[in-house]
Structure formats: C-alpha cells, structure tokens
C-alpha cells in the first residue's frame, strides 16, 4: 500500500464511519456477468482480503454486492439487469455516472461483526504465540464463527480454559489496540508475530498494547474491552495441525445465551437444575443403554420362540417364511437368524419397509445366495446383497418385495438337498 492509497481508504482512517460522500472516477460494465464495477476517489468500503470478507451496502440506491482490490485500486461491484448500454442507463437513472458525487452507506452490523471477529483473532493469536509458542498459520472470518489454523500438533496441546482465561484478562483490562503505518525500514521497532508483505511502500501494523504486533490490513476495534468476550467453540485436527473454531463480541454472547437457554430447557425436561444437566444426562444415557440391551435380548428370545413354533407347524425340511405386516427388516433379520440357528432355511418379508431377508444354515447344502438371488433382485428393481448364507434386498414397493420373497422360497425349495 502507498501513501495515496491510504488517503483514499476511509475505513482505515476511521473504521467506525458508516456513511460518507465520494466522487465516481470510473465505471466498467461486465455484461456477461450482469455486473458493473465502480471506482471512487475515496471509500468506506473494505475490500476482501487477509481472511476478512468485503463490506456490503449501497452507493446511492444501488446495492454493493462485492468489493475487491485489483491492481492497487478498489472496485465496488453492483448488479445490473440489462446489457452494457442498458446497464449504464440503469446506473445513471440512480445517480451513478463518472464525476457524480454520491452517498456511501455500508452495512454497519456486518462491519462491526468483522471488526469484533478480526480483533478477537489478533488477541487469541497473540496469547497462543506469546504464552504458548503456538503460531497462527491462517485465519478465516465466517458468518457464524471464525477459524484459525495453528501449529499445535494436537488439541491436547491446547489448554482451553487457561487460554480463554488469558484472553478474558486482556479484554477485562480494556487496553488500546493501536495501528501504526510505517515504511519497511521502520519495522525493526516492532517484534512482529508474522512476516510483513513484500514490496509494500507503507506497512500497517496492529498492536495490542505492547503485547503483540502483527502486520494486518483488516478493520479492528479501538480497545480490547470492546470485544466484550471471546469463546473458543471447538478444536479439531486439520492437515496434521489444529483448527480452532471461535467467536467474539456480540456473536459469542449470542451463542452463549442460546447455549444457556437450551441447557435450561434440557434441565426442565430432565427435572434437574442447569448445573446438574450433564450428570442427569449421563445417568439417563446409561439407563437407556441398559433398557436397549434388555430389549434386544427380549427380541432375540421372542424370535427364537417364533422360529421354534414355525418349525413345529411346518413340514419337515420346508423353507420357513415369515410375513411381517408392521415390523421392519431388523425384526425379520432376528427371525431368520433364529431359524438358521435351529438348522432351517427361512425368508422374512417385511411389508413395512419393502425388504426381504433370507438366511440358510452353513451345512444345509444350498447354493450361495448371491448367485441364486441377485439377478432376480435386480430385475425387480431391488438393491442389496450379502454373504453365501445371508441375503437382504430392499424394494420400492411391497408388491415387488412380495414377488421376490415368493421367488426366493421357490428357488430354495427346488435346490435343497
């Protein structure tokens, strides 16, 4: 960045400025993209860069949908609804032409959110660097949360409660966040956390009150107290390092309030206080797991009893068939497994989910089920597969499943030895 560019960038002189006046110096129309781009003699619109999204807003009545720095100049992208000639006519009708003095207005909530998140990232990265020797590798400012990729080898290397306490300490002390503009030769006065950009006439350094200095082109708060709070949301392994998810300022408070509200609702459902939610949940989960184990055992015992009854009622060696009107294929699987354990081949047709399950014993002399049934399954539009002794097929309708079950019973009956 050069000194002239700095004079044009009002978002650096006063990042709290949400409205301003400017003169249009150039307009270019990109008809295939349905956009025009506008250049101004001065601007409050921050262009995308350094992990921070662009400002949005209005030039007069025309929405600004993107802002980019191209070859050292800032372009404001606006939508147009017609071709090149019509597009310019639309802009002129709304007061936009080269030489026109126009009113600028940014989406202030978006800008303030970006200022809070970017300042929060500086403070978090400073604590990680200065107190733990963990370097920040990259930063992304999202709409719901932010991320920094750091040099830690594992999430276990990052004591979250301790890190958050240190960040909170800086917020509570409400120290100034200063911005310095200096030529490269003056950078020796600062202990920079990362390398400055090369080939810049003026380098912008953001300082957290004698604690951290970092070259940065983003917009920031004036003091750490304006952050209000910072919350680390989660950690995950990412490309051999660690990705940190966090939120600052109003967004962090919004997430914390939502989490507390949901914790209160959970406590109400569990009949406990908020402070006891985790213990009550653990107890409920253990009870549910115990009940599920008992239920599975009862299902197995019932399946064994039904299989024994079916064998008693069927002719010797006949292929058993279970027809389930309301139960799903899991119940059918339990039945055929129970029958197989008793030495009988069986088929379970579940009309509820249009699924057929087939199982034969290991030593009953039947051919491999896949070779016997797969072609017919495909012909009826089914999907599935299995092992030589077990086959499961799902169909689009109960009628298709019934046809397949009948084919499977006939095929097994013909081929049993």
The whole-number average pLDDT for the span 319-346 is: 92
Strands (E), 211-359: 212-215, 230-238, 241-248, 320-324, 346-350, 355-359
DSSP-assigned letters across all residues of 115-158: HHHHHHHHHHHHHHHHHH-PPEEEEEE-SS-EEEEES-SSGGGS
How many Å apart are CA 27 and CA 338, to the nearest integer? 78
pLDDT score, position 80 = 78
pLDDT higher for 180 or 185? 180
Instruction: Record the tokens describing residue 64, joined without a space.
Output: 């600004």
4 confidence band (pLDDT: 50, 70, 90): low
Q: Is the pLDDT of residue 211 over 60?
A: yes
pLDDT score, position 415 = 75
CATH topology of domain 297-415: Diaminopimelate Epimerase; Chain A, domain 1 (3.10.310)
Beta bridge partners of 138: 149
Q: Are 87 and 29 a contacting pair, CB within 8 Å?
A: yes
pTM (2 d.p.): 0.73
91-101: per-residue pLDDT in tens? 888 899 999 99
Other CB atoms closer than 10 Å to residue 39's CB: what's the count? 17
309 confidence band (pLDDT: 50, 70, 90): very high
pLDDT score, position 32 = 58
379 confidence band (pLDDT: 50, 70, 90): very high
Q: Are 56 and 77 a contacting pair, CB within 8 Å?
A: no
pLDDT score, position 262 = 92
Instruction: Record the tokens describing residue 205, joined without a space.
Output: 């350094």
Q: Name the CATH code of domain 3-106 (choices 2.60.40.2470, 3.30.420.10, 2.40.30.130, 1.10.3720.10).
A: 2.40.30.130
Burial of 393 (C-beta count, 10 Å sphere; 0-12/13-18/19+): buried
How many Å apart are CA 381 and CA 400, to the nearest integer? 8
How many Å apart are CA 393 and CA 385, to the nearest integer? 6
Q: Is the pLDDT of residue 83 over 50?
A: no
Instruction: Record the tokens describing residue 299, joined without a space.
Output: 């299902």
Judged by average pLDDT, the poorest of 76-80, 82-86, 213-217, 385-389 is 82-86
pLDDT score, position 46 = 96
Judged by average pLDDT, the poorest of 191-195, 258-262, 277-281, 340-344 is 191-195
How many Å apart are CA 25 and CA 100, to the nearest integer? 8
361 confidence band (pLDDT: 50, 70, 90): confident
Q: Highest mean pLDDT: which of 85-99, 150-164, 182-196?
A: 150-164
Q: Is the pLDDT of residue 20 over 80?
A: yes
Q: SS3 of 286, please?
A: helix
Other CB atoms closer than 10 Å to residue 2's CB: what's the count? 10
260-298: per-residue pLDDT in tens? 999 999 999 988 888 888 999 999 999 999 999 999 899
pLDDT score, position 186 = 82
57-70: per-residue pLDDT in tens? 999 989 999 999 99
Rg (CA), the chain: 34
Q: In what order do the strands lie in the sheet with 241-248?
A: 136-141, 146-150, 241-248, 230-238
Other CB atoms closer than 10 Å to residue 322's CB: what's the count? 23
Please state the three-class secondary structure of 147-185 as a single string. Answer: EEEECCCCHHHCCHHHHHHHHHHHHHHCCEEEEEEECHH
Domain borders along the chain are: 3-106, 111-267, 297-415
How many Å apart are CA 409 and CA 3, to the nearest integer? 86
Q: Is the pLDDT of residue 181 over 70?
A: yes
CATH class (in words) of the domain with range 111-267: alpha beta
Cα 410 to Cα 13, 131, 319, 321, distances in angstroms: 85, 75, 9, 11
């Amino acid at each position: 960045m050069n000194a002239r560019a700095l004079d044009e960038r009002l978002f650096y002189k006063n990042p709290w400025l949400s409205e301003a006046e400017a003169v249009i110096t150039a307009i270019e129309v990109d008809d295939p993209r349905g956009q025009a781009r506008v250049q101004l003699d001065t601007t409050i619109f921050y262009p995308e860069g350094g992990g921070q999204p662009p400002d949005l807003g209005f030039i007069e009545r025309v929405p600004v949908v993107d802002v980019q720095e191209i070859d050292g100049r800032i372009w404001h992208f606006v939508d147009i609804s017609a071709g090149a000639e019509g597009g310019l006519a639309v802009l002129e009708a709304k007061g936009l032409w080269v030489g026109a003095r126009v009113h600028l207005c940014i989406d202030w909530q978006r800008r303030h959110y970006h200022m809070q998140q970017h300042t929060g990232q500086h403070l978090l990265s400073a604590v990680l660097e200065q107190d733990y020797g963990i370097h920040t590798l990259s930063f992304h400012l999202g709409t719901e949360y932010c991320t920094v990729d750091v040099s830690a080898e594992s999430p276990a290397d990052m004591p979250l409660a301790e890190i958050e306490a240190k960040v909170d300490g800086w917020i509570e002390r409400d120290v100034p966040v200063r911005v310095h503009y200096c030529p490269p030769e003056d950078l020796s006065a600062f202990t920079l956390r990362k390398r400055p950009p090369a080939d810049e006439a003026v380098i912008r350094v953001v300082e957290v009150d004698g604690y951290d200095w970092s070259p940065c082109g983003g917009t920031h708060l004036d003091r750490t107290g304006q952050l209000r709070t910072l919350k680390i949301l989660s950690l995950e392994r990412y490309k051999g390092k660690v990705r940190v998810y966090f939120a600052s300022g109003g967004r962090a408070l919004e997430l914390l309030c939502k989490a507390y509200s949901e914790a209160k609702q959970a406590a109400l459902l569990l009949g406990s206080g908020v402070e006891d939610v985790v213990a009550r949940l653990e107890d409920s989960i253990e009870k549910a797991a115990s009940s599920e184990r008992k239920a599975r055992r009862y299902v197995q015992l019932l399946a064994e009893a039904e299989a024994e009854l079916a064998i008693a009622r069927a002719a010797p060696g006949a292929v058993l068939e279970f027809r389930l009107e309301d139960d799903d294929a899991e119940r059918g699987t339990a039945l055929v497994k129970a029958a197989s354990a008793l030495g009988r081949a069986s088929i379970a047709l579940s009309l509820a989910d249009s699924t057929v399950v087939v199982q034969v014993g290991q030593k009953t002399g039947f051919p491999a089920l896949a070779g016997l049934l797969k072609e017919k399954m495909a012909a009826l539009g089914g999907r599935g597969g299995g092992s030589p002794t077990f086959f499961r097929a799902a169909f689009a309708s109960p009628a298709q499943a019934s046809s397949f079950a009948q084919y499977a019973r006939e095929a097994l009956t013909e081929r049993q030895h």
